[in-house]
Structure 1
Amino acid sequence: MNVTRSNVSLLYVILIIFLLACISISSFVASTNMEAELDSFVKETIPLSSVAENILGDMINQETGVRGFEVTHEEKYLEPYNQGKAQLVQDLEAIARYESHYPSLKSLMEGDIVPQIHKLQDYYESQIALVRGGKTDEVLSRVNSGRQLMDRFRQLHVKLRTEIDSIGTDVYSHAQKTGHYTRIIIAGGGAIAIIIGICCAFVFKRADRAETALRRSEETYRYMAESLEAQNEEIIAQQEEQEQTLEKLSQRE
């Protein structure tokens, strides 16, 4: 097969276009994945951390309201308790929407956090009932139990924040890895393009040499053919001259 400079140039263009298309597609896919990871970090991890802090605030409001009611026996001090209890329902529903994406978060919430919240709320409701029933001595005797329950909830809340931080770290790490892969793809594609260019330049040079040698061979063959043709014409002329001479000799005889 004859390899000419035009063929090499066309091959080089096709390879470069194909390589650029592959790099563009790969970079687009990688950047899309990185954008999705960062979007997940912004839309899920940050709001999730905020909701977790809101849950702690809801429980503190309930604790504050019940303690004020225990001391004063006035219903107005239960307002923070009622607000915290109502807001807690919304915050638990909000954090439950993320549990399907993060099994470890779901396990912590269902196995530890929510049961502890139920224990605290049962305690608060029983304290309120005792205060309203005038059983002050029993209320005071159970205060330490309430503190222990709240301390346990705070410990579990630290675990919750740690878990959310771990989720955020994982999401951010994935985004960084995706960005790293994108840079590798672009750098690798550029390196391959350079290698292809060098190879094509080498092939182009060899093809140019082969084409030059071919032209020289064609010129040599053409010269030889012309020489042979001239020799054939000369031989034919000699043969004709010999035939005429023989014919004259025959006529003389």
Structure 2
Amino acid sequence: MADRPPRFRSWTLRSRVMALCGALGFLLAALGVAAVVIASDSNDRIDVLTNKTGPMRTAGQSLDAAFVDQETGVRGFLLSGEEENLAPYERGRAAETQLIDQITRLNTSGDSDASIDADLALVRERAAEWRSAVADPAIAAVRSGGPAAGQAVTGASSTAQFDAVRASVSHLQSDIAIVRNTAVKAAKQTGSTLVALEIIAAAAVIVAGAALMLLLDRLVNRPVLALADQIRAVAAGDYDRDIAGRGAPELLRLAQDVDAMRRKIASELREVQQARAQIEWGNAQLKVQAEELTRSNRDLEQFAYVASHDLQEPLRKVASFCQLLQRRYSGQLDARADQYIAFAVDGADRMQRLINDLLAFSRIGRLTAGFTQVDLDRVLTVVRSQLEERAGPDAEITWAGLPTVRGEEALLTTLFMNLIGNSLKFRRPGIAPKIHVTAERAGDEWHLHVRDNGIGIEAEFADKIFVIFQRLHPRETYDGTGIGLAIVKKIVEYHGGAISLDTEATEGTAFAITLPTPKPDPGTEPGGGSGAREDFVSAVVPEPGAEATSVPDAGSGAGEAPDQRPEAEPR
């Protein structure tokens, strides 16, 4: 394509295709016009044969027969003298006049032939001479003197005159035949020319079509296929391959646009690869940090457990001696000394409860009796029984439709003990507390709701209440350690569920708990070994003289749990 003129290379694909189609259309139009002209001429030639020379030939033959009829009628009349034998003569004269007029009219239509006009004039002249010299005198003689008189009028010259008439008619027929043969030859030539033109047109169409296909293949198909091959190579992953177009300006612009898109994709791909490398590096760092955080949390829980456990012995001694001082010297010292001793006893008691709660919090998930089928109806029955004295005669603790779930009965008992215990603690003054627990299934989860008619919790504290050591009320208003709901959340999450404050509740406090439904094949349960159970029981059973923790013995069902709910401001 390098040998093309620069001007042609600047043509658009549409211009090139339009030029090719225009050239082909012009060729076909020229051939069509020529075919129409030749076909029209052929029709004219055929029309001359059909409507002029043919009828003229027939009329010439009929004219000869008309003269023969006239001669026959005159001869019969001369022999018989009867008028009816003169009828052929009369018919022949009428036919003569009609046929001569017809030939004259046909000859004057289109291109007239002078020889035919001359022949017609000669026929008229000789026919008139024969009638004036032979036919009319003989007929008049027969009518006046009979057949013998008529025969006397005719002689040898009459035959010669009639032969001259027929000779002129024969010459007319010859000239008509010449005109007809000329028209036939012209029609055949026109037909041959039309056939040749059709052959040329067919060949031209075939050649032009082949040329158009070759040009389209060169101008469109090959450049497009070459561009498509390059695009497929890029699509296969060779993003560094340059895309170069050739051919029409549209294809060049398309190649440039595709190459620009390739460069953009390659640039973005490099950015994505860099970002992926950074993300992978970040994930590796996060994994390391997560492992370190897990180890740190485990160490922290172990420290809290050990520290709390080790603090119990000296704290029990402090509490015991403070209580001995209070019992033995109460009233014997001044009022300020009694007050100081009371402060010491109260502080030791609160410190013991805090240590027990920390121990309970650290044991969740570490010391376990294993998951079993737990009937929540039975759990709520145990909880209500243990809280009956604290609830008082006017409290209502009800539930309906509670399911059986997989979990640790001791932990689930602590869960409801804390929630219901808090509902009893944070009751509205002068109003009997009402606590209701419901459950409904949603897919693979149980949705539990614990509702009360207490003072409620503001929605803005929905997340804060589950943080350890968070309190919403002064210690003087509501006693507690601020760990209760943190223990509740940890128990729920340990069972694969979630807990949240229902901020749409219009009265009191409502907690929403989700727990997974029991699987047909429970599989491996966390820490279900007998050794773990023995450790769990030994860890939660208090030593002699110590207070019970908020997590009961795994084998006893539930123990007395102190109030451990974070204090909340009224709604």
What TM-score does the superposition give when structure 2 sets the normalisation length?
Answer: 0.34
Partner of 1:90: 98
Q: Secondary structure at the match of 1:133?
A: helix
Higher strand share: 2
Partner of 2:550: none
Aligned match for 2:68, one of 54, 60, 73: 60
Question: 1:45, 1:167 within 8 Å by CA — same for their partners in 2?
Answer: yes
Question: 1:49, 1:164 within 8 Å by CA — same for their partners in 2?
Answer: yes
Query: Percent identity of the aligned residues?
Result: 22
Distance 2:218 2:101 in 1: 73
Partner of 1:130: 141
Distance 2:197 2:150 in 1: 71
Q: Deviation string for 1:12-37 (max 9, x for gaps)?
A: 11111222222222212221221121
Distance 1:9 1:79, change over 3 A: same
Q: How far is 1:191 from its partner?
A: 4.0
Is 1:147 equivalent to 2:162 in the alignment? no
Q: How far is 1:181 from its partner?
A: 2.2
Aligned match for 1:158, one of 122, 145, 170: 170
User: One-letter code of the match for 2:46?
Assistant: L
Distance 2:215 2:81 in 1: 96
What TM-score does the superposition give when structure 1 sets the normalisation length?
Answer: 0.72
Distance 1:37 1:171 in 2: 6
Distance 2:213 2:150 in 1: 94
Q: How far is 1:202 from its partner?
A: 6.7
Distance 1:83 1:191 in 2: 60
Q: Deviation string for 1:61-98 (max 9, x for gaps)?
A: 11111111211222222121122122222222112212
Higher helix share: 1
Is 1:183 equivalent to 2:195 in the alignment? yes
Q: Deviation string for 1:198-217 (max 9, x for gaps)?
A: 666676677689998x848x
Partner of 2:31: 23
Aligned match for 1:105, one of 116, 126, 136: 116
Partner of 1:246: none
Q: How far is 1:186 from its partner?
A: 2.7
Would you say how many aligned residue pairs link Structure 1 and Structure 2?
A: 219
Distance 1:147 1:97 in 2: 31
Distance 1:126 1:141, change over 3 A: closer
Question: 1:58, 1:88 within 8 Å by CA — same for their partners in 2?
Answer: yes
User: One-letter code of the match for 1:18?
Assistant: F
Distance 1:190 1:4 in 2: 30
Question: 1:65, 1:77 within 8 Å by CA — same for their partners in 2?
Answer: yes
Distance 2:126 2:107 in 1: 18
Q: How far is 1:120 from its partner?
A: 1.6
Say which structure, 1 or 2, has more relative contact order (CA 8 Å, 6+ apart).
Answer: 1
User: One-letter code of the match for 2:145?
Assistant: G
Partner of 1:115: 125
Q: How far is 1:60 from its partner?
A: 1.3
Deviation larger for 135-144 or 81-90: 135-144
Q: Deviation string for 1:92-150 (max 9, x for gaps)?
A: 2112212322222111111x211111112212001112223328367336332221112
Question: 1:4, 1:207 within 8 Å by CA — same for their partners in 2?
Answer: no
Distance 2:129 2:49 in 1: 33
Distance 1:45 1:174, change over 3 A: same
Distance 1:113 1:8 in 2: 70
Q: Deviation string for 1:129-176 (max 9, x for gaps)?
A: 222332836733633222111222222222222111111111111211
Question: 2:46, 2:187 within 8 Å by CA — same for their partners in 1?
Answer: yes
Question: 1:130, 1:138 within 8 Å by CA — same for their partners in 2?
Answer: yes
Q: Deviation string for 1:192-241 (max 9, x for gaps)?
A: 445555666676677689998x848x99xxxxxxxxxxxxxxxxxxxxxx
Structure 1 spans left out of the alignment, 5+ residues: 220-253
Partner of 1:249: none
Partner of 1:236: none
Question: 2:78, 2:151 within 8 Å by CA — same for their partners in 1?
Answer: yes
Question: 1:8, 1:203 within 8 Å by CA — same for their partners in 2?
Answer: no
Q: Secondary structure at the match of 2:145?
A: coil
Partner of 1:50: 58
Aligned match for 2:183, one of 146, 155, 171: 171
Partner of 2:335: none
Distance 1:117 1:194, change over 3 A: same
Distance 1:138 1:39 in 2: 49
Partner of 1:36: 44
Question: 1:5, 1:204 within 8 Å by CA — same for their partners in 2?
Answer: no
User: One-letter code of the match for 2:66?
Assistant: D
> Superposed, which structure 2 residues align to 1:205-244 within 5 Å?
215=245
